[in-house]
Structure 1
Amino acid sequence: MANDRRRPRLQDIGDEPDYRFTLANERTFLAWIRTALSLLAGGVAVVQFLPDLGPRGQRLVLGFVLVAIATALAAFSYRRWFRVERAMRLSQALPATSMPLMLSLGVAAVIVVSVILMAIG
């Protein structure tokens, strides 16, 4: 007989939390996804629609940074949702996250670079 080492489904862990908390966690996840999509759209816009911002190479770098931030945010948002849901099911404290700090620093860096490009352009 094979040893079954599959991870349990989230629904099988702990107790069902109050549905309002589960829905709030889902809304937070969707807000992170919307933010990632906005950053993605911004990255595409910088490269495709803002020729006055600077040479194409500089716009490509700026656009790729925005897309990279969007990718990381989309990837980590699911992990964050899962960890919060699991903590609620196990009646544990919610896990800490560095996502807001990392997002803020990334967007601030993009803003600084954009302002520099506008000033020299």
Structure 2
Amino acid sequence: MAVAALEHVNITVTDPERTARRLCELFDWKIRWKGRAKYDGFTVHVGSDDSYLAIYSKGTPSDPAAESYFTRGGLNHIGVTVDDLDTVEAKVEAMGYTPHSHADYEPGRRFYFHNEDGIEFEVVSYA
């Protein structure tokens, strides 16, 4: 049986270029592709050779729900693994984001932050 792997997740943001730049800076990712997208929108694909986030916008997106965990089909958070949690947390703070919900447990450590579009990221290290 073939093993399945997650290739990408597509999210809607206010400014795909800004979001992609910040994710590249935080996680040492690269921009894989960018261009016109569905419904006359614009998308930037950012990530690694194996997986990526499709960062999409069509004009001015509507306001997000107040709490994704209560929205069927809502995006609760995006988890990203890193080798050096403390270095990434310092970058997160330098960008003006507020880390929260720190947790240390076997086998790893983590924290969360929300970007300017209200998307929550979970940053995890198993190192």
Larger radius of gyration: 1
- Write 1 or 2 for the structure with the bigger share of strand: 2
Same fold (TM > 0.5): no
Larger RCO of the pair (alpha carbons < 8 Å, separation 6+): 1
- Write 1 or 2 for the structure with the bigger share of helix: 1
With normalisation by structure 2, the TM-score equals 0.24
